[in-house]
A = this chain, B = another copy of it.
Amino acid sequence: MENAFNKNSVGLVKPNSIDLKNKLDLDCGKTLDGFKLVYETYGKLNKSKDNAVLICHALSGDHHAAGYHNKNDKKPGWWDSCIGPGKPFDTNKFYIVSLNNIGGCKGSSGPNTINTKTGKEYGPEFPIVTVKDWVNSQKFLADYLDIDKWACVIGGSLGGMQALQWAISYPSKIKNSIIIAAAAKLSAQNIAFNEVARQAIITDPDFHDGHYNNFGVVPKRGLSIARMLGHITYLSDDSMRQKFGRDLREGKLHFGYDVDFQVESYLRYQAQAFVERFDANTYLLMTKALDYFDPASEFNGNLESAFEKTNAKFLVVSFTSDWRFSSSKSHEIVKSLIKARKNVSYAEIEANQGHDAFLMPIPDYLGVLKNFMKNIEVGD
């Protein structure tokens, strides 16, 4: 693989696409007769086939986790700080698989792909999928790639929920699980924020009950509001203070509703960029997957019982300033794992970046990940 960018980059990468013929029974009761997955891989599968690592993405993520698609790309994949030769998820040692989840909008079966049964775009007809559904779909991908057991499944936020669900759903198919800035279930406040985001999208007149593509429009307003709101909750009060304070964009107040403060300008810009790259139906789906996640609910609300049959070694990581998925939520996971007598390490990283910290190259954080990955033994 060409290494055009710097010595620690995986360089130029190309997404793969596979049409899986497996039937996928979904939590909602519906079945997908087959589905497409788009994924990238970094590093090489070894002869023992025991060095495969699965990266699970969060709400707005996708398969492009590391490297560059083009020499002119301004930015590498979303977790490039962690994936590459010598990095925590070391491509010299591991074969790393990163996919776009079903329901997504970057090529895998989802609202903006064609339903082969009808020949039409799914749109809002694409079923609401859960974290468990994703894990099942990822299991089929593992089979396809001839991976019997993941050396590690890793994710942050909604991705961490998948890493956790893997350990529960397929105890014999996962050796290690890294659960970062996640929760075993959302709080009422989390659900409330998601509901406001959904209402912003759904009540946008350009939403057309999710059939907006048929009308040649996009519910930009609603998706912008959803993204702005999300963005605030991913940052900490402190990091926003440091980044923007009360700085005025033009040095004075305007006594109108145009931008006065830098933070307003930043949010509007972020929202606009997001609307251009993301799909509203997918955004809705993803927030529901977050809300619905609650593995303990199948065990009378007992998380310890949910962990009973797991065999993975766990690493749980949280960040001090993350208020969207606060450390107390990681503590809940860790305590239940300890009660269930499982092998678990926990690190709370001092960081002021809020929930977004999980994407940042924070030395202590990268160190914790690196140490954990270093101790995973793989064959030739």
Contacts and interface: CB of A to CB of B under 8 A. Distances in A.
Question: Which of A28, A235, A257, A291 has the largest number of chain B CB atoms within 10 A?
Answer: A257
Given A241-B188, A246-B188, A205 B203 contact: no
A208 to B, nearest CB: 13
Assembly stoichiometry (copies): 2
B263 A202 contact: no
A128 B255 contact: yes
Contact of A246 (B225, B228, B261, B294): B294
Interface stretch (A11-19, A67-75, A192-200): A192-200
Which one of A196, A198, A244, A294 has the greatest number of beta carbons of chain B within 10 Å? A196
A20 interface: no
A224 B199 contact: yes
Contacts of A191: 246, 261, 263-264
Contact of A189 (B187, B198, B240): B240
Contacts of A128: 255-256
A243 interface: yes
A49 B216 CA distance: 67
A105 interface: no
A360 interface: no
A370 interface: no
A198 B246 contact: no
Which of A205, A241, A245, A264 has the most chain B CB atoms closer than 10 A to its own CB? A264
Given A28-B255, A195-B263, A291-B261, A185 B246 contact: yes
A267 interface: yes
Contacts of A338: none
* Category for how many chain A residues contact B: 35 or more
B221 A203 contact: yes
Interface in A181-240: 185-189, 191-193, 195-196, 198-200, 202-205, 221, 224-225, 228-229, 232, 235, 237, 240
23 contacts: A28-B255, A127-B255, A187-B237, A187-B240, A187-B241, A187-B246, A189-B232, A189-B241, A191-B263, A191-B264, A192-B263, A192-B264, A196-B228, A196-B232, A198-B257, A199-B228, A200-B225, A202-B257, A203-B221, A203-B224, A246-B294, A257-B288, A260-B292
